[in-house]
């Protein structure tokens, strides 16, 4: 069977199509975003059972590149890529764990965390970047005059782009908002040999510039308006369902900034439904920082209108975005999944992340936003304690140590109720014994 995919304009009145090896990010007729569409009839020749078996047989196997969470689903992602052009760092296949203690603390019994940050560059951005860079490698092998791949980034996209380009031997260019990303995120593209451009603006400002410099076909655009990324990221929903032995959870909560990832999550789940692997859909919740919440504002007006905003500085720096490029796709997804949009204040996101950490998690601030949204939905009764809930953790906490250090030093501009300060002591047994006696008593009264 030969499977096929192509770019298609998301505007239903237009539906213009383009081959996947075209250098194109928006529809030439109507300027809408594009999405990758698959020949679903061809895919439907294989039964749902047979797809599930194939995906299970490949999952985390050593049979390169099919052990990758993405390439194990190659026919659903990028069927026409040659294996020789695949640039894979064994992405996907991340752990999904039962957050039993945290769930009990906040009032839900069946809460699971999908740790997308346990990945090569430390965030879910690897899922999409393996697909985009592989397609670029294929285009270069076909003679396309691509000299470099560029992105604007709030930190994680540039880390993923730089690492996959380095693995492929392709030059990367990253445009970063000066002073607005963590040191760990900044050092990743530097180490991987990217051309790092630090611009005195915010993410939205970098996005404007990168769209101009990639008008020339020699520099390829790697932001998520390029729907090749979405094809990789869409496997997260499929993988979650697979990890639950093909059972669909009731609710999936995901932090959202530029809103590519929520669209991707929806897209993978719809594909499973359309090919008969699942028969119902979960509810999707998008969680935004209150200081960068344009989708939440629009949701409150039932999406009657959407206005970009000037995003304010937030601890959840990877989602500090006021003018999300994938807004239309995200609204469509929320409608299809009976979705909810929530936001969280700085204090709510920091406390939720810190409380989670006390139960064995190590949350990045964006995961904190999602956990805070969950707390509020449980409190309001929108989510019931018996529901099967998955929170998508988007990055590794170790990328955001400044955030954690500031919190535990009590240096936020709000009270840090779970701050855990080191106790400074003279190096004597007596001093240590006395301090322990005091501190352990305090802890046991707090925990009991």
Ligand X SMILES: *Cc1c(COP(=O)(O)O)cnc(C)c1O
Nearest CA to 196 out of 147, 131, 148 is that of 148
Query: C-beta of 293: minimal distance to ligand X in Å?
Result: 12
Select from 27, 43, 170, 210 the one that contacts Zn ion (CB under 5 A). 27
Could you give the string, one character per residue 121-140, with x where binding to ligand X holds by CB under 6 A and - elsewhere?
--x-x---------------
Q: For Zn ion, which stretch binds (CB under 5 A), given 5-13, 297-305, 359-367, 408-416?
A: 5-13
- Written as six digits, the tokens of 305 are 């209108």
The bridge status of strand 388-393 relative to strand 251-255 is: parallel
Cβ neighbours of residue 298 closer than 8 Å, sequence gap 6 or more? 304, 305, 306, 307, 327, 331
- Written as six digits, the tokens of 431 are 């001093």
Residue 177 interacting entry, from Zn ion, ligand X, none, C-beta within 5 to 8 Å by type:
none
3-state DSSP call for residue 110?
A: strand
Residue 153 interacting entry, from Zn ion, ligand X, none, C-beta within 5 to 8 Å by type:
none
Counting residues that bind ligand X (by CB under 6 A) gives: 17
Query: C-beta of 63: minimal distance to ligand X in Å?
Result: 30
Give the 3-state secondary structure of 128-180.
HHHHHHHHHHHHHHCCCCCCEEEEECCCHHHHHHHHHHHHHCCEEEEEEECCC
- Give the Cα separation of 181 and 191 in Å (integer): 16
Query: C-beta of 177: minimal distance to ligand X in Å?
Result: 13
Cβ neighbours of residue 304 closer than 8 Å, sequence gap 6 or more? 298
Q: Based on CB atoms, which residue is closest to ligand X, 156 or 351? A: 156
Residue 64 backbone dihedrals phi, psi, to 5 degrees: -60, 140
- Give the Cα separation of 314 and 283 in Å (integer): 27
- Give the Cα separation of 323 and 361 in Å (integer): 31
Select from 318, 327, 355, 383 the one that contacts ligand X (CB under 6 A). 318
Query: C-beta of 161: minimal distance to ligand X in Å?
Result: 12
Q: For ligand X, which stretch binds (CB under 6 A), given 49-57, 105-113, 190-198, 249-257?
A: 249-257
Query: Is residue 190 a contact residue for Zn ion (CB under 5 A)?
Result: no
Nearest CA to 210 out of 254, 236, 181, 175 is that of 175
Residue 235 interacting entry, from Zn ion, ligand X, none, C-beta within 5 to 8 Å by type:
none
Q: What is the DSSP letter of 85?
A: G
Helical spans, DSSP H, in 221-259: 227-233, 235-243
Query: Is residue 150 a contact residue for ligand X (CB under 6 A)?
Result: no
Q: With contact defined as beta carbons under 8 Å apart, do 123 and 160 qualify?
A: yes
Query: Is residue 17 a contact residue for Zn ion (CB under 5 A)?
Result: no
Select from 72, 103, 249, 257 the one that contacts ligand X (CB under 6 A). 257
Q: With contact defined as beta carbons under 8 Å apart, do 208 and 183 qualify?
A: no
Q: With contact defined as beta carbons under 8 Å apart, do 129 and 409 qualify?
A: no
Query: Is residue 232 a contact residue for ligand X (CB under 6 A)?
Result: no
Query: C-beta of 391: minimal distance to ligand X in Å?
Result: 12
Q: For ligand X, which stretch binds (CB under 6 A), given 140-148, 194-202, 213-221, 250-258?
A: 250-258
Query: C-beta of 392: minimal distance to ligand X in Å?
Result: 9
Query: Is residue 416 a contact residue for Zn ion (CB under 5 A)?
Result: no
Q: Based on CB atoms, which residue is closest to ligand X, 311 or 364? A: 364
Query: Is residue 9 a contact residue for Zn ion (CB under 5 A)?
Result: yes
Q: Interface residues for ligand X in 348-367 (CB under 6 A)? A: 364, 366
Select from 4, 17, 19, 29 the one that contacts Zn ion (CB under 5 A). 29
Q: Based on CB atoms, which residue is closest to ligand X, 69 or 255? A: 255
Query: Is residue 16 a contact residue for Zn ion (CB under 5 A)?
Result: yes
- Cα radius of gyration (the chain): 22
Residue 258 interacting entry, from ligand X, Zn ion, none, C-beta within 5 to 8 Å by type:
ligand X
- Give the Cα separation of 400 and 393 in Å (integer): 13
List interacting residues with Zn ion (CB under 5 A). 9, 11, 14, 16, 27, 29-30, 32
List interacting residues with ligand X (CB under 6 A). 123, 125, 156, 224, 255-261, 318-319, 364, 366, 394-395
């Amino acid at each position: 069977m030969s499977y096929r995919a192509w770019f298609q304009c998301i505007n239903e009145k237009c539906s213009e199509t383009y081959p996947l090896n075209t250098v194109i990010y928006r529809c030439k007729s109507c300027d809408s975003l594009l999405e990758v569409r698959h020949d679903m009839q061809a895919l439907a020749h294989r039964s749902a059972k047979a797809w599930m078996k194939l995906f299970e047989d490949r999952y985390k196997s050593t049979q390169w590149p099919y052990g990758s969470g993405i390439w194990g689903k190659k026919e659903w992602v990028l069927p026409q890529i040659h294996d020789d052009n695949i640039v894979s760092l064994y992405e996907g296949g991340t752990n999904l764990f039962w957050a039993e203690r945290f769930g009990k603390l906040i009032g839900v019994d069946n809460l699971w965390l999908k740790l997308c940050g346990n990945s090569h560059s430390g965030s879910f951005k690897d899922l999409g970047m393996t697909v985009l860079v592989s397609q670029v490698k294929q285009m270069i092998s076909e003679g396309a005059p691509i000299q470099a791949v560029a992105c604007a980034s709030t930190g994680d996209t540039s880390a993923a782009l730089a690492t996959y380009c380095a693995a492929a031997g392709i030059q990367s260019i990253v445009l970063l908002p000066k002073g607005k990303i963590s040191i760990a995120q900044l050092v990743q593209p530097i180490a991987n040999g990217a051309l790092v451009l630090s611009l005195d603006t915010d993410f939205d400002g970098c996005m404007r510039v990168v769209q101009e410099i990639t008008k020339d076909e020699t520099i390829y655009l790697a932001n998520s308006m390029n729907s090749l990324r979405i094809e990789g990221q869409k496997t997260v929903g499929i993988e979650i369902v697979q990890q639950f032995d093909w059972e669909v959870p009731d609710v999936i909560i995901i932090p959202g900034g530029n809103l590519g990832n929520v669209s991707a999550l929806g897209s993978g789940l719809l594909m499973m439904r359309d090919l008969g692997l699942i028969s119902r859909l979960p509810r999707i919740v998008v969680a935004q920082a209150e200081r960068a919440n344009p989708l939440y504002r629009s949701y409150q007006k039932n999406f009657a209108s959407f206005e970009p905003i000037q995003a304010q500085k937030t601890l959840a720096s990877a989602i500090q975005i006021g003018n999300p490029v994938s807004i239309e796709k995200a609204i469509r997804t929320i409608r299809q999944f009976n979705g909810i949009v929530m936001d969280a204040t700085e204090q709510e996101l920091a406390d939720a992340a810190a409380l989670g950490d006390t139960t064995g998690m190590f949350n990045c601030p964006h995961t904190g936003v999602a956990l805070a949204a969950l707390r509020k939905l449980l409190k309001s009764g929108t989510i019931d304690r018996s529901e099967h809930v998955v929170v998508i953790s988007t990055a590794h906490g170790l990328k955001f140590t400044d955030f954690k250090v500031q919190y535990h030093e009590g240096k936020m501009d709000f009270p840090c109720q779970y701050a855990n300060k080191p106790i400074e002591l003279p190096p004597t047994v007596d001093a240590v014994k006395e301090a322990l006696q005091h501190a352990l008593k305090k802890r046991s009264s707090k925990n009991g």
